[in-house]
Amino acid sequence: MMMQTPVQSRSKLPDVGTTIFTVIGQLSAQHNAINLSQGAPNFPCDPQLTAGVTRAMQANHNQYAPMTGLLRLKELIAEKVARLYQARYDAASEILITASASEGLYSAISGLVHPGDEVIYFEPSFDSYAPIVRLQGATPVAIKLTVPDFSVDWDEVRAAITPRTRMIIVNTPHNPSGQVFSRADLEQLAAVTKNTDIIILSDEVYEHIVFDGERHHGMATHPQLAERSVIVSSFGKTFHVTGWRVGYCLAPAALMEEVCKVHQFLMFSADTPMQYAFADYMANPETYLALGDFYQRKRDLMQQLLAASPFTLLPSGGAFFLLASYAHFSDEADSELVKRLITDYGVATIPLSAFYADGTDNKLIRLSFAKDEATLRAGAQALCQVKPR
């Protein structure tokens, strides 16, 4: 029996309730479906990492870390960014270790966006951007990426900018489409923000998962953008430990000061033993430099396995997602097709409409290939059996 309360509450997010993600999770559990839906690996991390956490705990590194993070870890991040992107950040004042990339996003938006501001972001999008903006009393302004290439229409961005535009949120490599920014995108973004006070919040949690010999065009690679950007990345996505919930932010000191003010009262500090383990592990750059090849092999396997399926796969330039079109064989809503795939074929995917505020349905589903080979083969085999309706 549920507890009753006499308190009348007024919701800050009245339209947020049970999402399709919850529905899919429950239905998948009920049918024991093969999981190609969740954007998290189902294979173990390197045993060196768990051994590192154990060593840190046994060495009594179990109390609060410094508020902005373990200095040694921040110095290694600074070295990595300088080596890969030729950008120099001060480890003491311009790098923050956060309790997940999600906390980094929240702290950045909360610290830098004010009531009445507008924040431009691109859909389909990670589902937390708009709600965080709304919680600040600001207005999220969605711009839809073009389909099927999921590129930015920069003329539309120019038209959307107003005197109230405070921030533009970008995500590269992109969840859910797998598309990546080009150098030309960076030049366009620099042009539309030049001579403004617009902050760029750049979600780069898949920075090391870029395919086909391409490089990651993050904000740190462009000096004009770096000076107005908060960049968010993730140890969890990089090292296959999403449940450890540790990420980091990079930003010029003046912006980082405001992000840290929120972080200080939201979390104070990220988990201490994990920070020690990451610092030990990152000392070998191959731990993250090999990630693109690792996931490209999984992408290529998934594409090969699904060649005989009725689905048409869209290109994936990064992250660990593929989009699959079914428009040529079914008129079903994507949310209904996803449910049918679970109940009739025992495989779980995500409808792309879940990544749009208005539920735009382009007859596309998202597949995650961050899975072991057995799961990829079983999931692909099930999808190859799908019959048109």
Residue 379 lies in a domain: yes
How far from 283 is each of 6, 47, 287, CA to CA, in Å? 55, 16, 9
Residue 30 lies in a domain: yes
- If you write DSSP's letter for every residue of 68-122 in order, what string do you get? T--HHHHHHHHHHHHHHH-----TTTSEEEESSHHHHHHHHHHHH--TT-EEEEE
pLDDT tens digit sequence for 39-78 = 889 999 999 999 999 999 999 999 999 999 999 999 999 9
Q: What is the CATH number of the domain that holds 25?
A: 3.90.1150.10
Q: 188 and 75 in one domain?
A: yes
Query: Quick one: which H or E segment has residue 155?
Result: helix 154-160
Please check the confidence at residue 272 and state whether its pLDDT lies above 90: yes
Domain that holds residue 161: 47-288
Between these two residues, 220 and 19, which has the higher pLDDT value? 220
pLDDT number for residue 160:
98
Please check the confidence at residue 133 and state whether its pLDDT lies above 80: yes
Residue 122 lies in a domain: yes
pLDDT number for residue 325:
97
What is the torsional sign of CA 154, 156, 160, 163?
A: positive
Cβ-in-10-Å burial (0-12, 13-18, 19+) of 264 comes to middle
Phi, psi angles (nearest 5°) of residue 299: -60, -50
Angle in degrees, 0-180, between the axes of helices 272-282 and 47-58, rounded to the nearest 10: 130
Total domains, the chain = 2
pTM of the model: 0.95
Q: 297 and 281 in one domain?
A: no
CB atoms within 10 A of CB 275: 27
Q: Calculate what percentage of the chain has a pLDDT beyond 70.
A: 100
Distance CA 55, CA 185 (A): 44
Q: What confidence category does residue 15 fall into, taking pLDDT thresholds of 50, 70 and 90?
A: confident
Residue 70 lies in a domain: yes
